[in-house]
Structure 1
Amino acid sequence: MLQKTRGIALSYIRYRETSIIARVYTEEFGLQSYIVNGVRSAKSKNNRIALFQPLTLLDMVVYYKNDRDLHRLSEVKTLHPFQSLPFEVTKSTIALFVTEMLNKVLKEEAGSPVLFRFLLDSVLFLEEARSNYENFHLIFLLKLSFFLGFGPEGAREFEDQLRENSYPFLPDAAVEEALNTMLRKPFGTPISLTRTARNELANALVAYYQIHIDTVGEVKSLPVLREVLG
């Protein structure tokens, strides 16, 4: 049955000689996997494989059956063409990290329009921001944790949960203030953090997710993120 939905590309793997299997978080159906034929062929038109790069926003017509794990696309196009996110090193590195975390924590379940709207608005902010986005990944993970059911009410609760699970996170007053600001204010709010504090907080947030979601495991993009932002 043909259905229209918007989606956010998360990742893809090669499938046979010229195709891919793409993972997309959709507004209507949640996390879905799609076979996309012919995109790795030399004859493929318009570089369609670029549509499935991390966090690309998609407008899709899909064949959907709720008893299948693998679906097919009828039509796909860019919902909002990117001008900066794939091309600026800092933004693309943040996007890689965010996408890896989303791949680890999003589940194959019914769509959540509220969660999709949060993800869409977050990606659009990162794409369009010209300043004050160096802490985007930290704010994003903090806000996402509420949608996943384990958001902390404040910096102290965040610290307590880490300590209870033997993670040595001892922030100073400035980092505590930054954490509380991130929890309560929107993307783009100016927040002063040293490079060291930013990297330590990224490590702590990954550990926080590992406490609550046992599938997180190692985050391979984290060292790259630390190097680029450090």
Structure 2
Amino acid sequence: MNIEKTRAVILTLLPYRETSSIVKLYSEKHGLIHGIAKGIRRNNKGAVPIERGHQIELVVYVKPNRDLHTLADIQIIDFYPSIRQNLQKSAIRDAAFELILRSVHQNEPHPEIFESLLLYQSALELPATKENTFSLLWKFHLGITDLLGFGIQYNTCVKCGRDILDSGGYLGIQQGGMFCKSCAATTGLNDTFLDKDTIRVLCDKEIFLNHIPYRELMRISRIITAYCRFHLDIKQDFKTMQFLAEMEQ
């Protein structure tokens, strides 16, 4: 058994028996970990009220060839109050968590993914319009997909090499790249168009989006989620996408 202290972000939290919880977290040193936090739900002064989304420091008792480890000495580093108080931000945070849970394996460390999670939550914590909150989700999804080996060149057409920053283009989900309007017409792409402002945001050429209808934000989110699902071999639909769609109604 290895005993290590590490930082982590809580992805899910489920009650277990009377006083404990089953926790799925993404840690700095071990990647995705499933563990049991014993006594964490006791109603006393010593209990730490942890929740999904908290950044914590803890001790992990890593048991070789086991899927469930023991978690202890949990201390909260940041609880991101702005995200907790905003339903839309919480849903967009959870969409990122769902991607992590469905795309990475347990006990495989990816420190760069952990840092991406911290940066993502810190950015979500800041005041922002709904447009720019959604753009954080798009960039996180595509950033994780890039880290796992399926990055996109956003500003040029993969077929003819034409620059599309000023005109927009179509995301070829199976082809793994962007297509200009002319090449998209010959490739059969017709419903994955990303306008120039969206592409500039994804390229970090532009910071802010404004006055975009919620339905369009969801359309772009579905396109990007479909790209991630295809290349990361995720079979099921994302539940968080359905929840975000219902918030429009």
Q: Could you say which TM-score interval applies, normalised by the shorter chain? A: 0.7 to 0.9
Question: How much does 1:163 deviate?
Answer: 7.4
In structure 1, runs of 5+ residues without a counterpart are none
Distance 1:101 1:31 in 2: 12
Matches within 5 A, 1:102-181: 102-131=100-129, 132-154=132-154, 156=157, 159-162=171-174, 169-171=191-193, 175-181=194-200
Structure 2 counterpart of 1:202: 221
Partner AA of 1:74 in structure 2: A
Matches within 5 A, 1:68-107: 68-107=66-105
Distance 2:138 2:21 in 1: 31
Distance 1:24 1:18 in 2: 19
Which stretch has the larger CA shift, 131-140 or 201-210?
131-140
Distance 2:13 2:190 in 1: 35
Partner AA of 2:209 in structure 1: I
8 Å CA contact retained: 2:173, 2:226: no
Indicate the structure whose relative CO is greater, using CA pairs within 8 Å and at least 6 residues apart: 1
8 Å CA contact retained: 1:2, 1:63: yes
In structure 2, runs of 5+ residues without a counterpart are 159-169, 177-186
Distance 2:76 2:190 in 1: 43
Distance 1:46 1:217, change over 3 A: farther
Distance 1:62 1:44 in 2: 23
How many residue pairs get matched?
223
Work out whether 1:226 is the aligned partner of 2:236.
no
Question: How much does 1:93 deviate?
Answer: 1.8
Alpha-carbon deviations, 1:12-58, whole Å to 9, x = none?
233233322101110001111110122344x254763x4231x2211
Question: How much does 1:216 deviate?
Answer: 4.4
Distance 1:221 1:47, change over 3 A: farther
Distance 2:125 2:235 in 1: 26
Question: How much does 1:83 deviate?
Answer: 2.1
Identical residues among aligned pairs (%): 24
Q: Which one has a bigger Cα radius of gyration?
A: 2
Distance 2:8 2:143 in 1: 20
Structure 2 counterpart of 1:9: 10
Structure 2 counterpart of 1:25: 26
CA root-mean-square deviation: 2.8
Structure 1 counterpart of 2:207: 189
**Larger helix percent:** 1
TM-score normalised according to structure 1 size: 0.83
Partner AA of 1:96 in structure 2: D
